[in-house]
Structure 1
Amino acid sequence: MRGSKYWQKLWLWLTIAMITAGIVSSSLQPSNAASKQPNQIEIVAELPKGSEVGNIAITRDGRIFCSIHRFFGSASRAIEVLPGNRTRLYPNRDWGKAPTAAGEDWAGLNNTLGIQADGNGILWFLDNPDRNFPTGRLIGWDTQRETLHRVIYLPPPLITENAFLNDLAIDAKHNAIYIADTAGGQDAALIVVDLATGLSRRVLQRDQSVIPEDIDMVIDGRNIKLGPDPARVGVNPITIDPSYEWVYYGPMSGSSLYRIRTKDLRNTSIMNDNLAKRVERYGDRPISDGITIDGDGNVYITDITHNAIGVTDKTGKYRILYQNDKLLSWPDGFAVGPDGYIYAAVNQLHKAPPLNDGKDDSTAPYHVIRFPAVAPSTIGR
């Protein structure tokens, strides 16, 4: 018989081989990720009422964070998703709910959907103004030290009276953030924030690449309305490629995916009309609430009208990857995890009161799911 060290080494190599082959779970996988659905979709978390997730962000150490969609009326603004379908208010009791007038520097989140991790431990919240605090904000939270990192204010006239700061892309290479401002549709624009100086500018307002197209948002046979009118939503999905060369975006109510070089967005000498000439149409896509991208130029799409997730490849062609009427009932936002999977938050948003004649027909659970990327990507998008 050989010694115990031999058997320990043999067991170690067998374990590594099984992880590589996908036979056992690696430490990067959530503890309940084994709940597999058809087409390789895995359920990461099933969340109760009050946790109607919006967008999602994942840090380099695998922590999962979600904004909570205000359309459902929850008092919470953001959560951390923990193993075993558990959550905790995030960042803390002061910042995870609405601000109070007595709070120093208005601690708290007014109305946050956009949430993104920068790959260096900072979680960025994109916070909308409200009637008591008419300034948008970018709020950086240090997830390693659990302290406030930075607040950048986005005041008028940088934002309009009908501003709706929806989503963001972080340019870790050039120290910038790009924001999608839906702004009532016809006033939609991108906002470019220089993190080195805090200076920001509004670009491409009313360009065809940011305003909604005249197409109906039909989900489960129902034409979705915002108030009395059919929903027509401007620029919302936005992401940045792993090389930080291109920003990809488009109106939610749109059939085209656009892109523009980051160097052009950051060039303050390029006026708006000339900047619009540098926008490229990348390809086809359906009505979408969120996008992300891998290193081969595959842009993943939340295909909300088909209860699906799809991809537009670098040829510009769109195809559906996964379709599931129950599990993919309004996939909202994406995040790339450190394990090579793409994560998504699913929230049944079309069943929320503002989009459903004042009634909440959504039913728990609300899901965080994941699926394997077509090609490798990196966290922070």
Structure 2
Amino acid sequence: MSKSLFAAALLCTALGTAAVAEIETFATFDAGTPPGNLAIGPDGRMFMSVHEFYGHDLRVVEVLPDGSTTPYPNADWANKPDEDGPGLNGVLGLRADRDGILWMLDGQGAGQTGRIIGWNTRTEKLHRIYYLGQPATRETSFLNDLAVDREHGAIYITDTANAETTALIVLDLETGRARRVLEASAFTVPEDTEMVIDGNVVTLGGAPAKIGANPITIDPTNTWVYFAPMTASAMYRVRTTDLLDTSLSDADLAARVERYGDKPISDGSTVDAAGNVYITSITDDAVGVTQADGSYKILYQQDNMSWPDGFAMGVDGYVYVTINELHRSPVLNGGADATKGEFSIMRFPALGTAVSGR
């Protein structure tokens, strides 16, 4: 039996208990292409951000069917820009929508205004640039991940920032207006829990890493946005119609946020049509799922899944996840690169209907 068929059989029979199993490796990468997040378009094309914590100039690549990569959208745009020329300052989150637009959250760079860049993967032309400046952002902003809602013409962004300023940002694609919501709320601030991996406390800036709003995803019907602090034990959700309602005060909006279920300290997330919210459990070398009844279960766990990071739903019924050893990167390891070469994309069968290109 192949690994993928074994995984599918295991998931069908063992959801009631934690499953410890091998999942399929789709692609591996060398130290020059440490993966960040993934996006898969409606035609199956795969795009990946190159994690900036490793200091490379390359920002985004297309992952080809044979697992090789090529700079994307092209060599000029895929790299750090020269002054006012084309290029990307620092991309973590990226998503491909149902119209084939690749949305790249270009949030980092000294003295740089945050941007969302939409690139048409069908015509291979620039679609649109949205700028994310103050007051929607803060001096402390770290624009991390995004969820695209083409049903309502909006993009929802997690701004990790710091514990005092972490928030969500709502961008109206028609008007370009960006609003900051749920700043320093119970649903965005990190819990007081240390992140321990391989027996060591992960640090950021010399202190234990306790990180705010990061994972965010939207359901296939564009009804619910699921989000959470990275350092938190709960996944939350809120209706898209509430996020888009400009008449609601922050307190009114907070009152409409629901606790969806349990989760571990996590990085990325995605959700299928059955309400299964997939979670990367970074302290357990595992991928898990928060189910509609609120319970959390480990699906896959193994030693070479060192810091599972970002997810993407494939058109082939698989969920794809990046592995990037981020706790061994210079930013989270006191300036030293201690990686072991475990950079990859893995995949496993979705529990419910996997929908990409939303």
Instruction: Please classify the TM superposition score into its range, dividing by the shorter chain length.
Output: over 0.9
2:340 matched residue in structure 1: 363
Q: Report the counterpart of residue 155 of structure 2 in structure 1.
A: 177
The answer as to 2:323 corresponding to 1:341 is no
Distance 1:322 1:354, change over 3 A: same
- Cross-structure match for 2:280: 302
Residues 181 and 191, structure 1, Cα contact 8 Å, conserved in 2? yes
Say whether residues 1:98 and 2:80 are aligned partners.
Answer: yes
Corresponding residue for residue 103 of structure 2: 124
Q: CA deviation at 1:279?
A: 0.7
Q: 1:75 deviation in Å?
A: 1.2
Instruction: Give the equivalent residue in structure 2 for 1:50.
Output: 32
> Alpha-carbon deviation of 1:84?
3.1
Cα 1:347–1:316, aligned 2, differ >3 Å: closer, same or farther?
same
- Which amino acid in the other structure matches residue 145 of structure 2? D
CA offsets per residue over residues 53-102 of structure 1, 9 Å max, x none?
A: 00000111111111011111111001111233311111111110112214
Which residue in 1 is equivalent to 2:23? 41
Q: Does 1:270 align with 2:252?
A: no
Deviations for 1:174-215, whole angstroms, at most 9, x for unmatched residues?
Answer: 111000000123201100011111111110001010010000
Which structure 1 residue ranges, 5 or more long, are not aligned? 1-20, 24-37
Q: Does 1:87 align with 2:66?
A: no
Distance across 2 between alignment mates of 1:162 and 1:285: 26
- Structure 2 CA distance for partners of 1:360 and 1:262, relative to 1, 3 Å: same
Contact 1:283/1:312 (<8 A) preserved: yes
Residues 154, 171 of structure 2: 8 Å contact kept:
yes
CA RMSD after TM alignment: 1.5
Match of 1:285 among 251, 255, 263: 263
Q: Is the 8 A contact 2:100 2:357 kept in 1?
A: no
Separation of aligned partners in 2, 1:347 and 1:379: 22
Q: Indicate the SS of the match to 2:251.
A: helix
Structure 1 runs (4+) greater than 3 angstroms displaced: none
Query: Are the aligned partners of 1:252 and 1:289 in contact in 2 as well (CA < 8 Å)?
Result: yes
Tell me how far 1:263 sits from its aligned partner.
0.2
1:63 corresponds in structure 2 to: 45
Say whether 1:213 aligns with 2:191: yes
Task: Answer 1 or 2: higher relative contact order, Cα 8 Å, separation at least 6.
Answer: 2
Q: Which amino acid aligns with 1:41?
A: I
Q: Deviations over 1:304-329 (max 9, x none)?
A: 00000000101100010000111x11
Q: Does 1:164 align with 2:164?
A: no
**Secondary structure of the corresponding residue to residue 283 of structure 2:** helix
- The whole-number CA distance in structure 2 between the counterparts of 1:129 and 1:70 is 9
Residue 58 of structure 2 corresponds to residue 76 of structure 1: yes
Contact kept? 2:21, 2:302, Cα under 8 Å = no
Unaligned runs of 5+ in 2: 7-19
Question: Secondary structure of the residue that 2:21 maps to in structure 1?
Answer: helix
1:172 Cα deviation (Å)?
1.8
Aligned to 1:305, the other structure's residue is in SS state coil
Q: Is the 8 A contact 1:40 1:371 kept in 2?
A: no
Letter in 1 for 2:66: G
The CA distance in 2 between the partners of 1:22 and 1:225, in whole Å, is 39
Q: How many Å apart are 1:128 and its aligned residue?
A: 1.0
Contact 1:162 1:183 in 2 (8 A): yes
Letter matched to residue 65 of structure 2: P
Task: Tell me how far apart the structure 1 counterparts of residues 357 and 241 of structure 2 sit (CA, whole Å).
Answer: 19
**Among the aligned pairs, what percent are the same residue?**
52
Aligned to 2:117: 139
The alignment's TM-score, normalised by the length of structure 1, stands at: 0.87
Would you say 1:251 and 2:239 are equivalent positions?
no
> Residue type of the partner of 2:175?
T
Q: Which has the larger radius of gyration?
A: 1
For 1:211-235, what per-residue CA distance to the aligned partner results, in whole angstroms no more than 9, with x for missing partners? 1000010111111000221001000
User: Offset at 1:273?
Assistant: 1.0
Q: Tell me whether 357-366 or 231-240 shows the greater mean CA deviation.
A: 357-366
SS state of the match for residue 275, structure 1?
helix
Figure out how many residues of one structure are paired with residues of the other and give that number: 342
SS at match of 1:362: coil
Q: Which residue does the alignment assign to 1:12?
A: none
Residues 24-35 of structure 1: matches in 2 within 5 Å? none
Aligned-partner residue type, residue 51 of structure 2? H
Counterpart-to-counterpart distance in 2, 1:231 and 1:153: 29
Q: Deviations over 1:210-262 (max 9, x none)?
A: 01000010111111000221001000000001111110000000001100000
Partner residue in 2 for 1:225 = 203
Secondary structure at 1:283 match in 2:
strand
Name the CA distance, whole Å, in 2 between partners of 1:140 and 1:214: 36
Give the CA deviation at 1:365. Answer: 4.5
